[in-house]
Chain A
Amino acid sequence: MKENSDSTDIMAAVIKIRQKFGSQIISETASNNEIYLSVKKDAALEICNHFYNHLGAQLVMMFGTDQRISDGVFTIKYVFSMDLSDNFIIIQINIETDLEKPQFQSITHKIPAANLYEREIQDMFGLIAKGHPDPRRLIMFEDWPHGQYPLRKDFDLRSKPPRVEGTYEYKKVEGEGVYEILVGPVHAGVIGPGHFRFSVAGEPIINLEIRLFYAHKGIEKLFENFSIDKAVFLAERVSGDNSVAHVVAFCQAVEKIACAEVPLRAKYIRTILLELERLYNHVGAIGGIALDSGFSVGSAYANILKENIMQLNEKTTGSRLLRGMVTPGGMRRDIKNISDIVAKLSAFEHEFKELIDLLFDSPSLVDRIETTGYIYNDIAKALNVVGPTGRASGIDKDIRRDHPYAAYSDLDFDVSVQDGGDVYARTSVRSEEVFQSFGIIRQALQALEKLAGAPIKVDIGYVPSGHALGYTEAPRGEMLYWLMIVDGKIERCKVRDPSFCNWLAIEYAVLDNIIPDFPLINKSLSLSYSGNDI
């Protein structure tokens, strides 16, 4: 069981770790709000476990780097965050390359959220997670040859390794009357590719296994071949409907490394764009719930509203997906139609209120979404479920409040947290967030008027060598970038889209539900395939 960690500050946690594991810590450095603890390889499991299970820290990201050329080692970094603290702790281990099979100790049995990260590191770096409960291939499919690891520096981005024979073992669920339903990767709807295997006994689902990564495009490798200038546009295209959240996270990492302070006006404009993105995503997600529960009228109105928001996006930024605006150091373009946005927002808010009344007053819709697709709080915590999905399962986390960026520290807003954990709770959290977004945009627009004529960009100049985290609260939840620059070039860019954390939660949410409710549950999590698969 976890100790009560509410009052434990992250710095106090570091001190405790120092006291307990002093001899295992090789070095300790800090930059901005990131504390890096280099520890001995064999101690990682124990230290991570202590952080997670005794001090209440959450593992929010884990990734590898290939530093064989500069330091002669691979490294693995475990990024932890803690409630009530703006700091991140990054525990790092070195893995020597002279071993025939470089490996590290798996921590998944202690920290379940590490599961997919470790499999990702196995596929991309060829470092073996020793003791992993499920060491199957994840990103590179079974037809990918052994011994080829895309994120190793000696792997050529443009190479095309031949397909080889291989098999992928799905988990078997057997028993009298149990049968399997296979869906995907090409689906009936207009969504991303994924393979879903349902095992059902009668109507209820007794197991679901999801296979993703069909949309893997090697984006992290591609980043290493792009200049910072060009990489901005790649970040916008990791997950198209979360373009702003991605590009702002990326740019913040660059700015942190360059020690650049973004002008205030640019911070407000970024905030407005981030919230416009949340608006059209959330309205779309709520419309999806109406559609999949057969309430076409509600869905039509949600889609009209979403379209109107996207048209406002296009009028404001020249892009319906709000692309091409953000750049390291500030903004590429200013926002000029402030009075137009203000007027439209009032109309949208009125429309949205009517829509929500329409939906939640309909007993047939509410019946359908209440008690459907539970994600229990303990599951959500164990998997590090983020964003509205997490908040609908009682996880009180929001990067905008916990690690303020852009102009959020100057703005008033509430973080909606519920403990229902069902489709109803997730829909309701989203609807409250939409109302909060209207408020945030209004405040930011007022601030913009006072900053008329102020600069929107600083020249960040040459970006020195260094590394930093960038983060945003995307419509789907916590978005993290870890960027490393060496000699002005991108050495490593780890992208962690919120979907990567939340996909596994569906396997739990569908249990004991019936197949016809699957689309509804799936929509209520509103996940990105491309953001997950990168």
Chain B
Amino acid sequence: MLRIFKKTIQTRVVTTRYPQEQAIAPVGFRGEPNIDPDRCTFCGDCVDVCPAGVIQLTREKESDENILTLACDGCIFCGRCEEVCTNGAIKLTQEYELASKTRENLLLQVGGKPKVDEETEIMGQRLHSKIKNTFGRSLSIREVHAGSCNGCEVEVNALTNPIYDIERFGMHIVASPRHADMLLVTGPVSRNMELALLKTYEATPEPKLVAAMGSCACNGGIFGNTYASGGGVDKFLPVDVYIAGCPPRPQAVIFGIMMAIDKLAEKTKKK
């Protein structure tokens, strides 16, 4: 017992100050890709090597203009596009707060007309100012593994460790969907988990939120849409927040959950 006391006193506070303070990812971290429109020659090399198949090159018929799109929601952040780009047009940045209420907001585009208006185009809608006001609201989360590789589970488990300690925001991971406000779904929804996921959703009381965590939950990721993989959670359930990353860092998950809380407020107001 004395040993425990001694260790506790020696250890002090280990909890991170995120999100009140920024937590910059280390150099070498592979986050949100950035495409430099001036350097991109639309050669298509990145399209060919992308394991998740999220980069597409199309040609707009009217203007005969090339368009390169990169869907960050399904990106696995391997950096192959950066490796093969001879012009250095694609660079993976240290930005990791990649959550959004729509998948369109997670789409990067070079060339053609921008699909979304300038204001919402900003990736992940930085909502730090809002986040600061969301403390003190409770949110009960049920995690559902719908066929993930378990990388996301490693990070969800990290959320409750003393470093990230999401209980400090009033967030709990609960044992049953009946106690939950939000389902945090990982994995592309495997055929064998589809029914269990739908039942879990039904068992969750209204108002409820669904967050798709990780590239495969957002749009199938590297597993795509096959006989056994459903190609993303929103093919089966309405998704409120998409949290991109493979897997998202714990801070990125906290960011995503904060965004979901924001949406919950909107949902309850409407009712």
A residues engaging B (CB < 8 A)? 141, 150, 155-161, 185-186, 188-193, 213-219, 221-222, 226, 229-230, 232-234, 237-241, 243, 284, 297, 300-301, 303-304, 306-307, 310, 314-315, 317-321, 323-324, 332-333, 354, 357-358, 361, 528-531, 533
> Do A215 and B26 touch (CB < 8 A)?
no
* 4 nearest A-B residue pairs (beta carbon): A240-B151, A188-B175, A218-B228, A303-B161
Q: A214-B196, A217-B229, A358-B4 are in contact. Are A321 and B29 (CB under 8 A)?
A: no
**Nearest Cβ on chain B to A73's Cβ, whole angstroms:** 24
Q: Interface digits, B218-239 against A, CB 8 Å rule (1 contact, 0 not)?
A: 0001111111110000000000
B5 to chain A, nearest CB (A): 10
CA–CA, A141 to B195, complex, Å?
12
> In the complex, A230→B222 CA distance in Å?
9
Residues of chain B contacted by A191 (CB below 8 angstroms): 145, 153
Asked if A301 contacts B7 (CB within 8 A), the reply is yes
Contact A358-B79, Cβ < 8 Å, known A158-B225, A303-B161: no
The verdict on B158 contacting chain A, using a C-beta distance below 8 Å, is: yes
State whether A321 and B247 are in contact (beta carbons under 8 Å apart), knowing that A188-B176, A216-B228, A221-B227 are contacts in the complex: yes
Question: Are A190's CB and B78's CB within 8 A?
Answer: no
Residue among A158, A357, A531 having the largest count of chain B Cβ atoms under 10 Å:
A158
> Which residues of chain B are within 8 angstroms of A531 by Cβ–Cβ distance?
150
Q: Is the CB of A530 within 8 A of B150?
A: yes
Please state if B30 and A318 are interface contacts (CB–CB under 8 Å): yes
A232 to B161, CA, bound (A): 31
Q: B149-167 vs A: 1/0 string, CB under 8 Å?
A: 1111111111001111000
A-B pairs with beta carbons under 8 Å apart, 7 shown: A192-B150, A218-B228, A221-B227, A233-B80, A240-B151, A314-B249, A354-B7
Q: Tell me the nearest residue of chain A to B174, going by C-beta.
A: A188
Asked whether A190 lies within 8 Å of B173 as measured between CB atoms, the reply is: yes
Among residues of B, the one whose C-beta sits closest to the C-beta of A281 is B154
**Taking chain A's interface residues, is the majority helix, strand, or loop, or is none over half, making it mixed?**
loop
Is A358 touching B7 in the complex (CB atoms < 8 A)? yes
Most buried by A among B7, B11, B146: B7
CA distance A271 to B11 in the complex (A): 31
A528 (CB) vs chain B CBs: closest residue: B150
Contact A158 B25 (CB under 8 A): no
Which residues on B sit within 8 Å (CB–CB) of A284? 157
B268 close to chain A: CB less than 8 A: no
Docked-complex contact A320 and B155, CB < 8 angstroms: yes
B190 touches A240 (CB 8 A): no
Given contacts A150-B228, A160-B227, is CB(A530)–CB(B192) below 8 Å? no
Q: How far is the CB of B249 from chain A (nearest CB, A)?
A: 7
Q: How far is the CA of A323 from the CA of B215 in the complex (A)?
A: 15
- Residues of A within 8 Å of B142, CB to CB, are 186
Complex CA–CA separation, A221 to B143 (angstroms): 28
| Cα(A240)–Cα(B175), bound, Å | 23
> In whole angstroms, what is the CA distance A303 to B165 when docked?
11
Q: When the two chains form the complex, which single residue of B14, B78, B161 contacts A306, counting CB atoms closer than 8 Å?
A: B161
Contact of A221 among B145, B173, B177, B226 (CB under 8 A): B226
Residues of B within 8 A of A240 (CB): 148-154, 247
The listed residue (A185, A217, A238, A529) touching B196 by CB distance below 8 A is A185
Report how far A438 CA is from B146 CA in the complex, Å.
Answer: 35
Is there contact, CB below 8 Å, between B163 and A304?
yes
Alpha-carbon gap, A157 to B147, bound state (A): 17
Q: Which of B175, B187, B226 contacts A215 (CB 8 A)?
A: B187
B196, A186: Cβ atoms closer than 8 Å = yes
By beta carbon, the residue of chain B nearest A318 is B28
Complex alpha-carbon distance, A263 and B157, angstroms: 37
Evaluate whether A193 and B173 lie within 8 angstroms (CB atoms) in the complex, with A150-B227, A216-B190, A226-B51 already known.
no
Q: Which residues in B have their C-beta under 8 angstroms from that of A321?
A: 151, 154, 247
- With an 8 A cutoff between CB atoms, is B81 at the interface? no
When chains A and B are docked, how far (Å) is the Cα of A215 from the Cα of B190?
Answer: 6
Most buried by A among B3, B157, B162: B157
Asked whether A158 lies within 8 Å of B193 as measured between CB atoms, the reply is no
Does B20 sit at the interface, judged by CB under 8 A?
no
Q: Which residue of A lies closest to B30 (CB)?
A: A318
Q: Say yes or no: B161 contacts A324, CB within 8 Å.
A: no
User: Do A158 and B226 have beta carbons less than 8 Å apart?
Assistant: yes
B158–A237 touching, CB < 8 Å: no
Please measure, in the bound complex, the distance between the C-alpha atom of A319 and the C-alpha atom of B247, giving whole angstroms: 9
User: Within 8 Å CB of A297, what residues of B?
Assistant: 4, 7-8
| A106 and B221 alpha carbons, distance in the complex (Å) | 38
| B258 CB-CB contact with A under 8 Å | no
Distance between A518 CB and nearest chain B CB, rounded to angstroms: 15
Using known A-B contacts A216-B190, A218-B229, A318-B26, determine if residue A304 contacts B196 with beta carbons closer than 8 Å. no
| B144 CB within 8 Å of chain A | yes
- The answer to whether B222 touches A237, judged by C-beta atoms less than 8 angstroms apart, is yes
A193 and B196 form a contact (CB under 8 A): yes
Neighbouring A residues of B223 by C-beta, 8 Å: 217-219, 222, 237
Report whether A314 and B26 are in contact in the complex, using a CB–CB cutoff of 8 Å: yes
Q: How far is the CA of A218 from the CA of B225 in the complex (A)?
A: 10
Q: In the complex the two chains form, is A216's CB within 8 Å of B51's CB?
A: no
Q: Is B191 an interface residue (CB 8 A)?
A: yes
Q: Is the CB of A237 within 8 A of B196?
A: no
CB <8 Å contact, B149 and A304: no
Minimum CB distance partner of B200 in chain A: A186
A315 touches B247 (CB 8 A): no
A307–B163 Cα distance when bound, in Å, is: 8
> How many angstroms from the CA of A213 to the CA of B147 in the assembled complex?
9
Q: Which residue of B lies closest to A230 (CB)?
A: B51
Nearest CB of chain B from residue A13's CB, rounded to whole Å: 38
Question: Are the C-beta atoms of A190 and B51 separated by less than 8 Å?
Answer: no
A304 and B145 in contact, given A217-B188, A240-B154 (Cβ under 8 angstroms): no
Minimum distance in angstroms from A508 CB to a CB of chain B: 24
Contact of A216 among B52, B149, B192, B221 (CB under 8 A): B192
Q: Report whether A218 and B226 are in contact in the complex, using a CB–CB cutoff of 8 Å.
A: yes
CB of A303 within 8 A of CB of B162, answer yes
Q: Mark B55-86, 1 if CB is under 8 A from A, else 0.
A: 00000000000000000000011111001000
Given contacts A188-B176, A233-B51, 8 further A-B contacts (CB under 8 A): A150-B227, A193-B146, A214-B192, A219-B223, A233-B78, A240-B153, A307-B158, A332-B83
Indicate whether B49 reaches chain A with its CB closer than 8 angstroms: yes
Q: Which residues of A contact B79 (CB under 8 A)?
A: 324
Q: Are A158 and B190 in contact (CB under 8 A)?
A: no
Shortest CB-to-CB span from A499 to chain B, Å, is 10
A474 to chain B, nearest CB (A): 13
A222 to B7, CA, bound (A): 49
Give B147's nearest chain A residue, CB to CB.
A215
Residues of B close to A320: CB separation below 8 A: 154-155, 247, 249
**Chain A positions within 8 Å of B158 at CB level:** 303, 307, 310
Identity of the chain B residue whose Cβ is nearest the Cβ of A280 in the assembled complex: B154
A188 surroundings in chain B (CB, below 8 A): 175-176
Evaluate whether A214 and B148 lie within 8 angstroms (CB atoms) in the complex, with A297-B4, A358-B7 already known: no
> In the assembly, what is the distance between CA of A122 and CA of B79, in Å?
39
- Min CB–CB distance A398 → chain B (angstroms): 23
In the complex, which residues of chain B have a beta carbon less than 8 angstroms from the beta carbon of A317? 28
Least Cβ–Cβ distance between A31 and chain B, in angstroms:
29
Contacts of B192 in A (CB 8 A): 141, 213-216, 533
Chain B CB within 10 Å, residue with most, of A185, A186, A219, A221:
A186
